[in-house]
A = this chain, B = another copy of it.
Amino acid sequence: MDAKPAEPTDAAVVDGVLSALADPTRRRLLDLLSAYGQATATTVADGLPISRQAVVKHLTVLEAAGLVDSVKVGREVRYSVRSEALDATARWMASLAAAWDRRLAKLKRLAEAAEQAQP
């Protein structure tokens, strides 16, 4: 029973996470962030071949997708990774794969039944 297609609320989350993770640079960014635990855009940009502004844009996308959290400390903004949205999307994908399997199995049964009915 844990294989229903997806909860309606998850749709937007899944959409955001998938778009966010589609970019290799953003995946790399998440890797760095999870390694640092907490870091500013400037810090992360040092470890990447792109400008700080590019990093900020990516972080904005990731935050909108719920994959990243930001906290303002003094004059700097510290970002950290959040696993909830990622986990929700993983569950969505697993249930989708299960749904496909069930549909295919059902269609296969129907096809076999039809074949036996009309030899």
User: Which A positions have Cβ atoms within 8 angstroms of B?
Assistant: 15, 18-19, 21-22, 24, 34-35, 37-38, 80-83, 86-87, 89-91, 93-94, 96-101, 103-104, 107
The one of B38, B90, B98, B101 in contact with A97, judged by C-beta atoms closer than 8 angstroms, is B90
Distance (whole angstroms) from the CB of A89 to the closest CB of chain B: 6
- Whether the Cβ atoms of B100 and A81 lie closer than 8 Å is yes
In angstroms, Cα B90 to Cα A98, docked, is 11
In angstroms, Cα B19 to Cα A100, docked, is 20
In angstroms, Cα B103 to Cα A80, docked, is 11
Residues in B whose Cβ lies below 8 Å from that of A83: 97-98, 100-101, 104
The one of B37, B87, B93, B100 in contact with A103, judged by C-beta atoms closer than 8 angstroms, is B37
* Residue of B with least CB distance to A24: B15
- Whether the Cβ atoms of A94 and B87 lie closer than 8 Å is yes
Known: A18-B22, A87-B97, A94-B94. 5 other contacts (CB 8 A): A35-B103, A37-B107, A82-B100, A86-B100, A93-B93
* Residue of B with least CB distance to A88: B97
